[in-house]
């Protein structure tokens, strides 16, 4: 393992809160992978007589641990499936955004000029839309479904990463090591990929972790407005939205998805925060000296 | 100065124009026709066509676009497709409702953030500080439709001390303000705490103390002034997005603001209304961005005009 | 004084100033306009009425409920759906192509003038012809067969038809406007004295609509008594939970047909000390419809098998909390055109499987195995209850080896898919039907979209013939016989798997008395309602 990485990891893991967060994250990641390993988990049966039955704590009925929802499906199974969908949506959006955003941001920051103008103007345009309007409109155009929700959230998602990368590139492009590399005849692609990109990785990583938290919340928000997944797939957001009607009578429907979202988002925020504390000093020093 | 003004107007024109174009075409891609929404699913096809023609929606899309742009350029926001009423008064009314909620939440969040941020910074590392930072992370992470619904049930139904829906004067403002404001405050207070901690180590703070200034004077006049700067950008973004109508909070509290208006308009395929909302908000967004730039300069003369 | 006391005090003061400024602006703008008079009833609506202007009322239910309270129509309906004269005194078919309407004497608009033939003609002519500069009326479809409307005398109007249309009487429900109102811009009829009904419109906004008593009302007893209420406030609360909470809290006094069913049951069981609930079967028929152009559904055995495999009692019990009654035909028991189906699709899994086997859809590995006989998608609009029903049906059909997916669409998109035939099966209700001619609109082979609501492309010559005959026949008993026969065929061929008739309900707090529940959900009994 890279010694630098090791050092960073050790620093990050020094705090209990971060360690706990990481455990939670790994936990949800494992849960999300379960349906792929055990296809039985995908078979969520609908059993009306179980409608909104509260949790039962019995070893004989593991499906009932979290109770049953408004068509008598096991909340536990749906939570597992929901973990998959929520994480899938979140991670895909963040990955695509980071990829697209950093490419455009890098181009804009490195070359400046008309490339920068183009990218910046597009970002300005998208930012001028009232929040959620673009995802709502796009969700209406495309219809529901996991893929379309991802597309709708990506539309605005890439801007953040683009801004981060563009800023870094702008401050780095005239630094000595870049000029030296140029003088040595390195191609522009080489400079971008081998010299500049590594320097932007840490701020990009921090941004990505925070925006993963934001995306999971945004997906839940879209579901709340009824514009999320319409194809029958279940995410924590859809579960939570459905539970809103039964907050008083059947709180078990809301508690578990709410706790799941909260735990995931909070731990992402904790990890992002401590990464920032460790990495940002380096990033900042690169920027200032 | 003149150059700055020119740049501002160029930006304004570009953004407004771009947003109109984008929203104009995007909407027409949404399946479903406004004629269905207005005349009902069981109306005659010939009437639907007549209605479309009466509203100029049967022309080629590019022609419609030119018509719309021309009208907009003359300052005419047009009429609602759904009932043919003029859009401008409605928009003004809804904008005021949104403005009311936005400014209250903003001020509330700002004050709360100052209190929490400064406390956290001065007592950094204490138990209270740790508690506050966990609390603020929780507040950032909780979806507003859950906190809002909870507040509604606890304070409006169970304790019965606030009204259930918006539009009932001051008391109906409090729950949505707290819902929106506390989430924002959490973010701002964390930023503020961080930057205050950095500032505390600067020489001029030590100098200020050694001059014999009181704690209040040092922290507020010297430290805060410098620490607020990085938070300003965030605050600007927050205000801008608040003015765009907080769709979810408005839905939860039945607040008659712009956010719920836009959702309604999208669902009814009221092209004119959606476009008008988006254009006006884009306009506000650009103006606000300019104001924030100016404010930033006031706080920090080092930031020059680009 | 510590630093924090000082800081906190200053910040609190700042917040106080802001709130003070807003309280000033709030009171200056008069944001709380509804003065609670003793006789003000507050009703929760789920959606804003789109328009109560009789020229432009379309299919949205809340507009249709308010219209007759404001503008009296020629014809209303009895509880069972039989046309009843309101402004009309007598309606007679001179021959199948000529309808003569005699207008009652002495029913006045609020502006003081009697309703006469000119007003009726002006109103109906607008619907038929429209006016330049005004949008077309969404209601024109019902009057396509009218050739001309003629004035016979001051109080007599003759409708001349191009083809016989006996359903015309049940369409004469349009609120009559004074002739000078016809050229007014859309939705600008407020405060001009055009109302003839028991109430006047005094506010129409996004968050609330207010009707106040029409002091000059003269329609009693034909259109309800002179109201005891001085004002009715309709609060527009789109969110189900908010309506429920508003009722609990006392922000509204009455909610009709727009609460989650489990909340209604809760009011009955746990809150009967403070609230009164009334229920009765509503004119609301839920169904699962099939697109017969789809090869799978083209076979009647498949449709019947699906109907047999849906355990409607179970869904009613668990998903709708018992607020419904199993349906096997379009019109509910008690409705004039109700037809008792002789082949009800009573839940029977074995028969369903036999039918599917016979149709050639054998289960490859038995009903327990994972392989399926067939699969299809049910589309539903975004509505929590309908989604739950669709999921429940999907769960039940799994037991006979059918794999059913549920796709949720936003309402207008849903409609677009339906009208384009881009759908395999869907769940929807019919509500507020009155005349048997509704069957023509839904099942006649000429009424496929965009000309009608035959969205499943059902076609049967005999049914077409019967529905056409019923449309031209003016004698009630004969029409009823035609509709009975047509319904018999329809229930055997199952273009729809009828699910249930909903139970209508009204939940009121104990202050309200005299409100009567109607099967079609109308609010006409507001005239007899009073508050304690």
Per the CB < 8 A criterion, the answer to whether A122 and A156 are in contact is no
Reduce the secondary structure of B252-305 to three states and give it as a string. HCCCCCHHHHHHHHHHCCCHHHHHHHHHHHHHHHHHHHHHHHHHHHHHCCCCCC
pLDDT-above-90 percentage for chain B? 9
Q: How many of the other CB atoms lie within 10 Å of CB of B280? A: 21
Q: Which pair of structure tokens corresponds to residue A46?
A: 């609908």
**What's the maximum distance between 2 C-alpha atoms anywhere in chain B?**
85
Residue B231 has pLDDT above 60, yes or no: yes
| The pLDDT of residue B81 | 84
Q: Over range C83-92, report the average pLDDT.
A: 93
Q: Which residues of C touch A70 (CB under 8 A)?
A: 319, 388
Q: Over range B147-162, report the average pLDDT.
A: 86
Pairwise CA distance, residues C328 & C467, whole Å: 19
CB-neighbour burial class of residue A59 (10 A; exposed 0-12, middle 13-18, buried 19+): exposed
Put simply, the chain C residues between 492 and 521 with a CB less than 8 A from any chain B CB are none
Pairwise CA distance, residues A84 & A71, whole Å: 21
Reduce the secondary structure of C61-127 to three states and give it as a string. HHHHHHHHHHCCECEEECCCCCEEECCEEEEEEEECCEEEEEECCCCECCCCCECCHHHHHHHHHHH
Q: Tell me the domains of chain A and their CATH numbers.
A: 11-288 (1.10.3720.10)
Q: Does B108 touch chain C (CB under 8 A)?
A: yes
Nearest CB neighbour to A266, from listed B137, B248, B266: B137
Provide CB contacts within 8 A for C157, sequence distance 6+: C100, C101, C103, C117, C120, C121, C149, C150, C151
Per the CB < 8 A criterion, the answer to whether C254 and C43 are in contact is yes
Per the CB < 8 A criterion, the answer to whether B46 and B52 are in contact is no
Element (H, E) at B185: helix B171-200
Q: Which residue has the tokens 């988006």?
A: B278
Put simply, the chain B residues between 241 and 300 with a CB less than 8 A from any chain C CB are 251-252, 254, 256, 267-269
| The pLDDT of residue A225 | 81
Provide CB contacts within 8 A for C233, sequence distance 6+: C34, C40, C41, C42, C43, C208, C209, C210
Element (H, E) at B8: helix B2-29
- Give the pairing type, strands C254-256 and C374-381: unpaired
Residue B245 has pLDDT above 80, yes or no: no
Long-range interactions of C204-209: CB distance < 8 A, separation 24+? C204/C49, C204/C52, C206/B256, C206/C48, C206/C236, C207/B165, C207/B166, C207/B167, C207/B254, C207/B256, C207/C235, C207/C236, C208/C34, C208/C233, C208/C234, C208/C235, C208/C236, C209/C45, C209/C48, C209/C49, C209/C66, C209/C233, C209/C234, C209/C236
Q: Over range A247-268, report the average pLDDT.
A: 89
Pairwise CA distance, residues A64 & A55, whole Å: 6
What's the pLDDT band for C1 if we cut at 50, 70, 90? Answer: very low
Pairwise CA distance, residues B274 & A100, whole Å: 28
Provide CB contacts within 8 A for C35, sequence distance 6+: none
Least Cα distance to A76 among A61, A97, A98 occurs for A61
| The pLDDT of residue C32 | 43
Per the CB < 8 A criterion, the answer to whether A165 and A59 are in contact is no
Interface test with B, best of C59, C242, C249, C442 (most B CBs within 10 A): C242
Beta bridge partners of C209: C204, C234
How far from each other are the two terminal CA atoms of chain A, in whole angstroms?
29
Q: Which pair of structure tokens corresponds to residue A166?
A: 């563009």
Pairwise CA distance, residues C210 & A110, whole Å: 62
Beta bridge partners of C403: C375
Query: What is the overall mean pLDDT for chain C?
Result: 89
**C278 φ, ψ (degrees, to nearest 5):** -120, 145
Element (H, E) at B104: helix B87-122
For B7, the 3-state DSSP assignment is helix
Put simply, the chain B residues between 175 and 214 with a CB less than 8 A from any chain C CB are none
Provide the number of CB pairs (under 8 Å) joining chain A to chain C: 61
Q: Which pair of structure tokens corresponds to residue B192?
A: 């503020």
Pairwise CA distance, residues A137 & A171, whole Å: 36
Nearest chain B alpha carbon to C134: B54
| The pLDDT of residue A220 | 87
What's the pLDDT band for B125 if we cut at 50, 70, 90? Answer: confident
DSSP state, residue B198: H
Per the CB < 8 A criterion, the answer to whether C424 and C294 are in contact is yes
Provide CB contacts within 8 A for C465, sequence distance 6+: none
For B184, the 3-state DSSP assignment is helix
Nearest CB neighbour to C260, from listed A46, A227, A245: A245
Least Cα distance to C51 among C69, C61, C63, C38 occurs for C63
Q: Which pair of structure tokens corresponds to residue B274?
A: 């959606």
| The pLDDT of residue C28 | 42
Q: Over range B121-139, report the average pLDDT.
A: 84
Interface test with C, best of B84, B98, B176, B274 (most C CBs within 10 A): B84
CA distances from A64 to A74, A256, C396, C477 (A): 6, 13, 20, 57
| The pLDDT of residue B304 | 47
pLDDT tens figures, C266-289: 999 999 999 999 999 999 999 999
pLDDT tens figures, A73-95: 899 999 999 999 999 999 999 99
| The pLDDT of residue B75 | 83
Q: Which pair of structure tokens corresponds to residue B297?
A: 């300069």
Q: What is the least distance, in Å, from the CA of C22 to any CA of chain B?
A: 7
What's the pLDDT band for A283 if we cut at 50, 70, 90? Answer: very low
Q: Does A261 touch chain B (CB under 8 A)?
A: yes
Beta bridge partners of C386: none
Handedness of CA C461, C467, C473, C475 (dihedral sign): positive
| Angle (nearest 5°) at CA A231 between A227 and A237 | 50
pLDDT tens figures, C371-392: 789 999 999 998 888 999 999 9
Q: Does A259 touch chain B (CB under 8 A)?
A: no
Q: Over range C56-69, report the average pLDDT.
A: 90
Q: Which residues of A touch C407 (CB under 8 A)?
A: 144, 230-232
Nearest CB neighbour to C392, from listed A71, A140, A144: A71
pLDDT tens figures, A164-187: 999 888 888 888 888 888 888 888
Least Cα distance to B187 among B146, B221, B235 occurs for B235
Phi-psi region of C246 (alpha: psi -120 to 50; beta: other; left: phi over 0): alpha
| The pLDDT of residue B72 | 87
Beta bridge partners of C149: C159
Q: Strands, E, within chain A: which ranges?
A: none
Q: Which residues of C touch A242 (CB under 8 A)?
A: 384
Q: Which residues of C touch A45 (CB under 8 A)?
A: 395, 398
Per the CB < 8 A criterion, the answer to whether A227 and C408 are in contact is no
Q: Strands, E, within chain B: which ranges?
A: none
Residue C7 has pLDDT above 70, yes or no: no
pLDDT tens figures, B14-73: 998 999 999 999 888 888 888 887 887 777 788 888 888 888 888 888 999 998 889 888
What's the pLDDT band for C323 if we cut at 50, 70, 90? Answer: very high
Q: Please state whether the predicted TM-score (pTM) of the whole model is above 0.80.
A: yes
Alpha helices in A50-145 (DSSP H): 75-111, 113-128, 133-142
Q: Which residues of B touch A132 (CB under 8 A)?
A: 244, 247-248, 259
Beta bridge partners of C377: C405
For B57, the 3-state DSSP assignment is coil
Per the CB < 8 A criterion, the answer to whether C423 and C291 are in contact is yes
How many residues in total does chain C contain? 532
Alpha helices in C319-383 (DSSP H): 349-358
For A221, the 3-state DSSP assignment is helix
The interface predicted TM-score (ipTM) is 0.84
CA distances from B110 to A44, B238, C208 (A): 46, 11, 33
What's the pLDDT band for A198 if we cut at 50, 70, 90? Answer: confident
Q: Which pair of structure tokens corresponds to residue C103?
A: 């207008």
Element (H, E) at A203: helix A197-224
Q: Over range C301-323, report the average pLDDT.
A: 94
**C92 φ, ψ (degrees, to nearest 5):** -135, 140
Q: Strands, E, within C357-414: which ranges?
A: 374-381, 402-409
Cβ-defined contact of A70 to C260 (cutoff 8 Å):
no
């Amino acid at each position: 393992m890279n010694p630098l990485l090791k050092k960073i990891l050790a620093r990050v893991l020094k705090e209990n809160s971060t360690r706990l967060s990481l455990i939670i994250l790994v936990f949800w990641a494992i849960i999300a992978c379960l349906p792929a390993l055990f296809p039985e988990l995908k078979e969520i049966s609908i059993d009306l007589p179980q409608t909104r039955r509260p949790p039962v704590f019995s070893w004989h009925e593991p499906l009932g641990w979290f109770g049953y929802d408004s068509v008598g499906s096991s909340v536990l199974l749906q939570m597992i499936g929901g973990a998959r969908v929520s994480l899938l949506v979140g991670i895909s959006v963040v990955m695509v955004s980071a990829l697209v955003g950093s490419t455009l941001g890098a181009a804009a920051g490195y070359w400046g000029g008309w490339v920068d103008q183009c990218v910046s103007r597009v970002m300005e345009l998208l930012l001028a839309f009232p929040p959620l309007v673009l995802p709502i409109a796009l969700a209406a155009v495309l219809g529901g479904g996991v893929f379309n929700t991802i597309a709708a959230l990506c539309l605005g998602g890439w801007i953040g990463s683009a801004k981060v990368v563009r800023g870094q590139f702008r401050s780095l492009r005239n630094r000595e090591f870049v000029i030296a590399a140029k003088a040595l005849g390195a191609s522009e692609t080489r400079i971008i990929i081998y010299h500049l990109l590594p320097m932007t990785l840490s701020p990009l990583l921090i941004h990505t972790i925070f925006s993963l938290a934001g995306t999971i919340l945004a997906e839940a928000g879209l579901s709340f407005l009824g514009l999320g997944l319409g194809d029958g797939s279940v995410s924590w957001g859809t579960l939570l939205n459905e539970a809103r009607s039964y907050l008083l009578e059947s709180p078990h429907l809301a508690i578990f998805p709410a706790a799941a979202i909260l735990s995931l988002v909070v731990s992402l925020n904790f990890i992002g925060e401590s990464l920032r504390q460790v990495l940002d000093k380096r990033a900042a020093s690169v920027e200032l000296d | 100065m003149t150059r700055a003004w020119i740049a501002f107007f160029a930006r304004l024109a570009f953004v407004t124009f771009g947003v109109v174009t984008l929203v104009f075409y995007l909407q027409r891609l949404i399946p479903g026709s406004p004629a269905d929404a207005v005349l009902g699913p069981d109306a005659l096809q010939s009437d639907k066509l007549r209605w479309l023609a009466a509203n100029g929606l049967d022309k080629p899309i590019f022609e419609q676009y030119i018509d719309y742009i021309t009208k907009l350029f003359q300052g005419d926001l047009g009429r609602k497709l759904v009932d043919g009423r003029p859009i401008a008064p409605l928009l003004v009314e809804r904008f005021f409702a949104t403005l009311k909620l936005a400014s209250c939440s903003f001020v509330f969040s700002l004050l709360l953030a100052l209190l929490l941020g400064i406390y956290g910074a001065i007592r950094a590392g204490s138990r209270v500080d740790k508690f506050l930072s966990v609390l603020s992370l929780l507040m950032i992470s909780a979806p507003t439709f859950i906190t809002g619904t909870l507040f509604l049930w606890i304070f409006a139904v169970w304790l019965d001390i606030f009204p259930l829906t918006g539009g009932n004067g001051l008391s109906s403002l409090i729950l949505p303000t707290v819902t929106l404001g506390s989430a924002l405050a959490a973010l701002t207070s964390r930023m503020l705490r961080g930057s205050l901690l950095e500032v505390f180590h600067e020489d001029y703070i030590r100098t200020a103390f050694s001059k014999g200034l009181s704690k209040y004077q040092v922290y507020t006049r010297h430290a805060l002034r410098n620490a607020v700067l990085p938070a300003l950008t965030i605050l600007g973004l927050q205000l801008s997005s608040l003015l765009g109508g907080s769709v979810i909070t408005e839905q939860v509290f039945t607040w008659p603001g712009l956010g719920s208006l836009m959702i309604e308009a999208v669902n009814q395929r009221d092209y004119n209304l959606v476009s008008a909302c988006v254009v006006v908000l884009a306009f506000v967004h650009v103006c606000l961005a300019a104001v924030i730039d100016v404010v930033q300069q006031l706080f920090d003369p080092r930031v020059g005009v680009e | 004084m510590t630093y924090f006391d000082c800081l906190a005090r200053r910040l609190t003061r700042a917040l106080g100033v802001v709130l003070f400024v807003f309280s000033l602006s709030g009171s200056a703008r008069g944001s709380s306009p509804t003065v609670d008079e003793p006789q003000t009833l507050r009703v929760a609506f789920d959606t804003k009425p789109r328009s109560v202007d009789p020229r432009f009322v379309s299919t949205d239910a809340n507009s249709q409920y308010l219209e007759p309270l404001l503008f009296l129509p020629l014809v209303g309906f009895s509880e069972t759906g039989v046309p009843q004269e309101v402004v009309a005194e007598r309606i007679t078919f001179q021959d199948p192509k000529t309808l003569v309407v005699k207008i009652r004497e002495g029913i006045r608009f609020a502006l003081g003038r009697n309703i006469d033939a000119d007003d009726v003609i002006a109103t109906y002519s607008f619907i038929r012809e429209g006016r330049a500069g005004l949008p077309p009326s969404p209601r024109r479809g019902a009057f396509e067969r009218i050739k001309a409307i003629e004035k016979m005398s001051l109080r007599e109007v003759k409708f001349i038809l191009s083809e016989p249309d006996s359903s015309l009487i049940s369409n004469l429900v349009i609120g009559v406007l004074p002739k000078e109102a016809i050229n007014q811009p859309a939705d600008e009829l407020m405060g001009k004295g055009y109302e003839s009904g028991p109430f006047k419109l005094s506010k129409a906004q996004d968050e609330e609509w207010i009707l106040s008593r029409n002091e000059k009302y003269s329609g009693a007893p034909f259109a309800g008594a002179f109201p005891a209420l001085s004002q009715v406030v309709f609060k527009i609360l789109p969110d189900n939970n908010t309506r429920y909470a508003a009722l609990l809290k006392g922000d509204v006094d009455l909610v009709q047909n727009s609460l989650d069913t489990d909340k209604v049951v809760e009011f009955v069981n746990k809150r009967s000390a403070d609230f009164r609930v009334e229920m009765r079967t509503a004119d609301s028929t839920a169904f699962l419809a099939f697109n017969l152009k789809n090869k799978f559904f083209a076979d009647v055995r498949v449709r019947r098998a699906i109907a047999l495999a849906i355990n409607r009692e179970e869904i009613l019990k668990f998903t709708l909390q018992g607020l419904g009654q199993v349906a096997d035909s379009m019109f509910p028991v008690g409705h004039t055109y109700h037809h008792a189906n002789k082949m009800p699709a009573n839940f029977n899994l074995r028969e369903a499987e036999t039918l599917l086997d016979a149709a050639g859809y054998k289960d490859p590995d038995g009903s327990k195995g994972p392989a399926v006989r067939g699969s299809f998608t049910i589309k539903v609009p975004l509505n929590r209850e309908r989604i739950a029903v669709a999921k429940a049906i999907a769960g039940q059909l799994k037991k006979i080896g059918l794999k059913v997916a549920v796709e949720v669409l936003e309402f207008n998109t849903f409609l677009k898919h339906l009208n384009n035939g881009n759908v395999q099966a869907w769940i929807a209700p019919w509500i507020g039907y009155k005349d048997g001619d509704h069957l023509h609109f839904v099942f006649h082979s000429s009424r496929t979209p965009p000309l009608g609501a035959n969205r499943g492309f059902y076609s049967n010559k005999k049914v077409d013939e019967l529905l056409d005959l019923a449309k031209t026949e003016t004698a009630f008993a004969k029409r009823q016989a035609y509709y009975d026969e047509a319904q018999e065929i329809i229930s055997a061929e199952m273009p729809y798997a009828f699910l249930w008739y909903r139970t209508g309900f009204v939940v009121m707090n104990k202050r309200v008395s005299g409100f009567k529940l109607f099967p079609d959900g109308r609010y006409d009994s507001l005239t007899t309602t009073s508050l304690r």
